[in-house]
Amino acid sequence: MMTVDELQQFLIDGFPFDPPAFVVEEVRDHRIRVRLPVLPSHGRPGGTVSGPALMSLADCTAWLAIVGHIGPVPLAVTTSLHIDFLRKPALIDVVATGTVLKLGRRLAVVEVAMVSEGGEAVIAKAQVTYSIPPGEGVDRH
């Protein structure tokens, strides 16, 4: 299992944004917590965080949850992302919790729940499926 610092560095190496687009806050068992530091550019008319920003957070959280388990495999790629937008979030940081539901040899499935900082109500929920390159997955049989 990769540590918070290792995952953050892996993310920075792959996507060298300044400041970092996402912040890995916690990794444990089959869970990860990732923060989207909301900037004005994440907003949309109506004073809310845009759907594409939330989809990006869901996808990144799932990716980090998977590589956190299988190691730094940059070519694990999204094959499916389904998201439900449940509440209008304010323009404040969004925190995502990713839970690995399945981690197989070729596919991994992660559920991602997102809340506004300081809130408890889920603002969006996603299920993300990733394809793992041959030889990089985990045999769970």
> What are the structural domains, with CATH classification, of the chain?
4-131 (3.10.129.10)
pLDDT at 73: 83
Asked if residue 57 lies in contact with residue 42, where contact means CB atoms within 8 angstroms, the answer is no
- Whole-number pLDDT of residue 17: 87
Q: Hey, how many other C-beta atoms are within 10 angstroms of the C-beta on 48? A: 18
Q: What is the largest CA-CA distance in the chain?
A: 48
Which one, of 21, 76, 79, lies nearest residue 53 by Cα? 21
Amino acid type, 54: L
In 29-69, the DSSP E strands lie at: 31-36, 43-44, 48-49
**pLDDT of the residue at 135:** 72
How is residue 54 written in tokens?
A: 């939330």
Walk along the chain (141 residues) in steps of 10 and give the mean pLDDT of each run. 95 89 95 96 94 97 95 89 97 98 96 96 98 70 35
Give me the pLDDT at residue 136, please: 57
Query: Rounded to whole angstroms, how far apart are CA atoms 83 and 115?
Result: 14
Task: Give this prediction's pTM.
Answer: 0.93
How large is the C-alpha radius of gyration of the chain?
Answer: 15
